[in-house]
Homo-oligomer: A and B are copies of this chain.
Amino acid sequence: MAPQYAPSLRSRLAPLLLILQTGFIIIAALCFENKETNKPDRKSFFHFYPEFQDVNVMMILGFGFLCTFPVRYGFSGSGFNLLVAIIATQWALILNGLDSWYNTKIIRIDLKSIVKAELCAVSALISIGSVLGKTNPVQLTLIALLEVTGFALNEWLLQTLLKVQPPNSIMLLHVFGALFGLMLTWILYRDGSKQGFEKETFDKKSGLFSMLGAVFLWMFWPSFNSVLVGDDQTRLEAVCSTYLSLAVSAVTAAALAVLSSPRGKFNPIQMQSCILAGGAAVGVSVSVVQQPWEAMALGFTAAILSTLGYRYLKTHLLIAFECHDTCSVLSTHGLPGLLGWLAQLVLQIKYCDDHTVAVRFAVFHICTLFITVSLSLSMGIITAFLVKWTFWRPQQNKKCFDDQAFWEFPNLVVRK
């Protein structure tokens, strides 16, 4: 008979985390530098700080509490998200700084580099959404490290080979994260998925915690899309576009939820994922969306795509491809991200007067997507095979979506 308890992580997780953290501190002691030299830019601290905190809230609270919907997985959902987010951020700080380290032997740490690292970490959080509840924290840590490596590599390739501007390349995190996650969950498929895991349910209270996370993501998404945009005017446009797009996608998602349900009811989890579609779509195309109606139309289309993805594609993926996407990252981030990519292509061509330039841009833009997709798919497959190794002690099917596997509840009583 199978053991009753989930395997202990004491001999796996603790050394892994301690080695990683000590390594990070040693690297920091050798390379990190806190001082900002460019005094004229000093003012930007105050301009930047509120958006920095908004992104921080989205990463830790938004994504964390979005993952608390499984009824017995609240601590894991929010706690592991925090753990993974900060490991990924530290790792991304180092990877993003490699370039400057190569030139100056110094990695400068300031708000901008931290925000950039956080955005890379978000791409890892998206991937992790697809395997939520079916992996242990050791696996999650490894996934995060490899995902961030892949994403940083992708960014470097895009910026070096195709001269893609930094905000544009970073915003592909939605596509990269979603496809990476899809490969993960495809290869890490567990037999129990088709029947549904015993504890993969939600109740009203856990659903409300998840609502809280969704609402924070919804509210602060304008900061997420505008934080790396350089120019003040463009930043303001990014904020307004994202706001309008999110508003439209929330209304549209509600309408479609009612329409696609036989009894005309809302599905809480579907709503929480589909109202966010507009944010991802505008994020990817933020540099070319100028008019409010373009952002609104994008939000409208994104919500339609996302709802279709949630209602039909997700089930299809599970049944036909054995690909069990817990947080439906494909429909929340993947499809809207691809839509944003398409919108960018269309709008850029529309604004082009010259036919040659337009064709050249199209080729260049298709290459961008091609590199991103192939890198995310291949890195996802490699990572998944590494993580599948039983050395990492994955929990049994019965212990999926169960806090009890990783958290102490001595009869739910703490004696302190």
Contacts and interface: CB of A to CB of B under 8 A. Distances in A.
Contacts of A9: 258, 264-265
Contacts of A89: 247
A196 B275 CA distance: 34
Contact of A79 (B72, B271, B324): B271
Given A9-B264, A413-B201, A34 B258 contact: no
Given A240-B110, A408-B266, A34 B251 contact: no
B204 A263 contact: no
B34 A291 contact: yes
Interface stretch (A46-54, A338-346, A352-360, A362-370): A46-54
A29 interface: yes
Interface string A40-82: 0011011101110110110011001100100110110011001
Interface in A13-52: 13-14, 17-18, 20-22, 24-25, 28-29, 32-36, 42-43, 45-47, 49-51
Interface stretch (A162-170, A171-179, A206-214, A375-383): A206-214
Interface in A93-142: 109-111, 114, 137
A277 to B, nearest CB: 14
Interface stretch (A152-160, A231-239, A279-287, A384-392): A231-239
A220 B53 contact: yes
B21 A255 contact: yes
A192 to B, nearest CB: 12
A374 B198 CA distance: 56
Contact of A406 (B200, B250, B265, B403): B265
A137 B271 CA distance: 15
Given A34-B241, A111-B240, A264-B9, A211 B78 contact: yes
Given A17-B252, A240-B110, A208 B211 contact: no
Interface of A: 5, 8-11, 13-14, 17-18, 20-22, 24-25, 28-29, 32-36, 42-43, 45-47, 49-51, 53-54, 56-57, 60-61, 64-65, 68, 71-72, 74-75, 78-79, 82-83, 86-87, 89-90, 109-111, 114, 137, 196, 200-209, 211-212, 215-216, 218-220, 223, 232-233, 235-237, 239-241, 243-244, 247-248, 250-252, 254-256, 258-259, 261, 263-269, 271, 275, 290-293, 296-297, 300, 314-315, 318, 324-326, 328, 403, 406-409, 412-416
B83 A11 contact: no
Contact of A83 (B25, B111, B254): B254
Given A25-B300, A293-B25, A258 B83 contact: no
Contacts of A90: 247-248, 251
Contact of A212 (B65, B233, B258): B65
A211 B247 contact: no
A268 B407 contact: yes
Contact of A326 (B49, B265, B416): B416
Given A11-B264, A53-B219, A114-B243, A28 B408 contact: no
Given A83-B250, A416-B200, A14 B61 contact: no
Contacts of A22: 300
Nearest to A216: B61
Nearest to A65: B212
Given A42-B233, A74-B207, A137-B254, 4 more contacts: A9-B258, A24-B248, A74-B208, A78-B211
Contact of A28 (B25, B292, B413): B292
Given A201-B413, A233-B36, A415-B196, A10 B261 contact: yes
Contacts of A79: 211, 266, 268, 271
Contact of A109 (B51, B71, B264, B292): B292
Contact of A57 (B8, B47, B219): B219
Given A232-B42, A263-B8, A416 B75 contact: no
A300 B244 CA distance: 40
